[in-house]
Structure 1
């Protein structure tokens, strides 16, 4: 099949969606499909150092970066829209990542115009917490294009059953399917020697290491984490909180202020974003992974931690929490500092239970979240949708909706 993924950006700072979009595409290419990604060169306030005038081949995938222009908050790229207009008829299916952005408006419009089946992946934006955020601005976009995009999509792609259920009130009855995110478990089989990360920080000598491993962002429940850590540290003075991940919109300054107000600054380490061997080293040395998010449509960082044998404590707003608890790979709590602290303390008090949960997490990742397995599931969904909708370019343009740029 010829498959087109359309995503706003692939810069590492954007976390799970960017990582999953690239790895998903590579896994599909490994199954013999012709996979292309259209994206922008946006990287925060700047741009990636990538060419925008030619295709880049990455892991078997053709990646086309297009220049982003103002207003950048909308990931605006007229060059991408022009390419979508020209190229979409050449694909069998289009997979659109995220809502309320320029690329989704353009891709949905031209997919309908040319009768090419398309899938919309909300990436958690239809979780009630996220749906309510910036509601006025989103309502305008829904009226202009997003309601149409969702209503006329051939399917919506969710990564958990929980995400599907939470989105139901907002999708106008559009059909959906569940296929999870994945990891390449081979990337986590050979980890750095234990102690590699700890050796870089004198503060970690002889201490239990609590790891937050995600974007430093409002929705990750960092205010809850700081309050929980206050109680955890009171019960377990030998604990240190390590916060690893890119700082999203300078949110890290707030977290530092909360830690200072709680007299915990000297027991916390900010590493920034870690990749490659450094990422594996911090995961390898963690005693416990903590993610008390307010909203998390999947939580790829949770899967990465489990792949490294780290027991996890997550909120029941991280949408794989039911699966994690059912497999005995970790604990889930409400978004409540006291309950997060209780769960973490329970595991800190029981090294044997931590080890058991770590092993169950590894087994869970191998059984359910290997990219090769996930890509096979996704391929099946693509074939069904493409078969129902006919071949690329042969459909009616009756669903085209907006007439801009046609």
Structure 2
């Protein structure tokens, strides 16, 4: 049960530390979620900091871009592989400043950041909240299994099992926590989107001119990590079966190439004779990302597994209808008439895609408007931030347990 209550402000300012490996370009969707949440909690009057392993210059840019207070993001250098996010300086800072915070909210797991959360919990006896952000679903657990087993042995088992509360983004993710053997209280609360994103307007023409896309070309858009988890080969094979229906359509793929997966996708597109229907444009940030959403007709996410992707919120918040697999936890996409959810198969995606590309533009725009209204009603970050403050306050013994928390 997700809790949505009226506006609430604590009389006592909380000192909240959000701990995550990265919030910048290396973070993908988690970074946007953390930045939005920190801003929402600062608006409520709380002292909020983010500690991460980003570079300092990027942190200052992110503070300005997301309307955060100066020096909200504190950065620490890493030692060793960037994926491990091991920072001796961060661990020393946690030890030296342990008493300055009421609570740690950790975002993402499997990195050395969990060592710091563990240490802080043992030293202070104060609450920790862990948000895996999709990292405990069965598909993800099967990837890099030996690395995850090593992390569990060294620090992650204790970090997870002794957390005061787990933060699930959906009921499906909460079920995954229980399947993993975790008995902690679970708060089910989704990611949110900022008021600024809902108000912003993108420049569709600027996007088309930048990437040499004609006004006549209809655009479907993928934004995220270019990685096997996202299921893009399924989408390409579905497109191949509809090649003649797609003569005016192009798939725009924006994101960072992980594990060399873009090379694999380019090879698949070539073999399926889809080269003219697929364009890779690299990662998009800031206004460039908003311009893309203004230009496209349809957002696609054919994933094998998802937590609660911020990209879906951003697309709906920009008024773009969705075509996604049922790995995306929001059945509201269908019940509110703002897109399509399919089974995870080429045949199911092909069927939904056939319907979507033959839907008139004005009908797609109506679907997009319904999606934006849904986000404005239920997924604004200020409301999500309020609910998390209630959860923190309960963990600190100051309030009753909120309805979105179950044991």
- Does TM-score exceed 0.5, indicating one fold? yes
1:82-161 pair list within 5 angstroms: 82-161=92-171
CA distance in 2, matches of 1:51, 1:179: 26
SS in 1 for 2:242: helix
- Equivalent residue, structure 2, for 1:260: 270
Q: Contact 1:233/1:239 (CA < 8 Å) preserved in 2? A: no
Q: Does 1:32 align with 2:45?
A: yes
8 Å contact kept, 1:11–1:48: no
**CA–CA separation in structure 2 for the residues paired with 1:268 and 1:370:** 33
How many Å separate the matches in 1 of 2:58 and 2:356?
45
1: CA distance, partners of 2:358 / 2:336: 21
Partner of 2:357: 348
CA contact (8 A) 2:98 2:123 kept: no
1:387 matches 2:397: yes
**What TM-score does the superposition give when structure 2 sets the normalisation length?**
0.88
Distance 1:194 1:135, change over 3 A: closer
Shift of 1:141: 2.0
Q: Which residue of 1 aligns with 2:320?
A: 310
Partner of 1:79: 89
Q: Match of 2:304, SS?
A: coil
Q: Residue 360 in 1 paired to residue 370 in 2?
A: yes
Pick closer, same or farther for the CA change 1:253–1:89 going to 2, 3 Å. Answer: same
Residue 338 in structure 1 maps to residue 338 in structure 2:
no
Shift of 1:87: 1.5
Contact 1:184–1:371 (CA<8 Å) still a contact in 2?
yes
CA separation of 1:140 and 1:262: change in aligned 2, threshold 3 A: same
1:172 CA drift (Å): 2.4
Structure 2 Cα separation of the partners of residues 240 and 140 of structure 1: 42
- Give the CA deviation at 1:256: 1.3
Give the alignment partner of residue 25 of structure 2, picking from 4, 8, 12: 12
Deviation at 1:277, TM superposition (A): 2.5
Question: 2-side partners of 1:152 and 1:9: how far apart?
Answer: 23
What's the CA shift string for 1:40-86, capped at 9, x where partnerless? 13xxxxx564699xxx8971262211110114331111111111112
Counterpart in the other structure of 2:11: none
The CA distance in 1 between the partners of 2:383 and 2:80, in whole Å, is: 39
Alpha-carbon offset, residue 212 of structure 1? 0.9
In the alignment, the residues of structure 2 paired with residue 31 and residue 189 of structure 1 have an alpha-carbon distance, to the nearest angstrom, of: 20
Deviations 1:324-352 (A, max 9, x none): 22222211111212211211221221225
Gaps of 5+ in 2: 1-13, 400-407
* Alpha-carbon spacing, 1:201–1:133, altered in 2? closer, same or farther (3 Å): closer
CA distance in 1, matches of 2:81, 2:33: 25
The answer to whether the aligner puts 1:279 opposite 2:300 as a matched pair is no
Change (3 A) 1:32 1:346: same
Quote the residue 2:8 is aligned against: none
CA distance in 2, matches of 1:133, 1:249: 12
Shift, 1:148, TM fit: 1.4
Partner of 2:16: 3
1:156-178: CA deviation from partner (whole Å, max 9, x where unpaired) = 01111121112211142111101
Kept in 2, the 8 Å contact 1:16–1:299? The answer is: yes
**Which residue pairs with 2:402 in the alignment?**
none
Whether the 8 Å contact between 1:50 and 1:65 is mirrored in structure 2 is no
RMSD: 2.2
Q: TM-score, normalised by structure 1?
A: 0.88
Larger mean Cα displacement after TM superposition, 232-241 or 189-198: 189-198
Q: How many equivalent residue pairs? A: 380
Distance 1:338 1:319, change over 3 A: same
Kept in 2, the 8 Å contact 1:88–1:116? The answer is: no
> Which consecutive unaligned segments of at least 5 residues does structure 1 have?
42-46, 390-406
Displacement after TM superposition at 1:368 (Å): 1.2
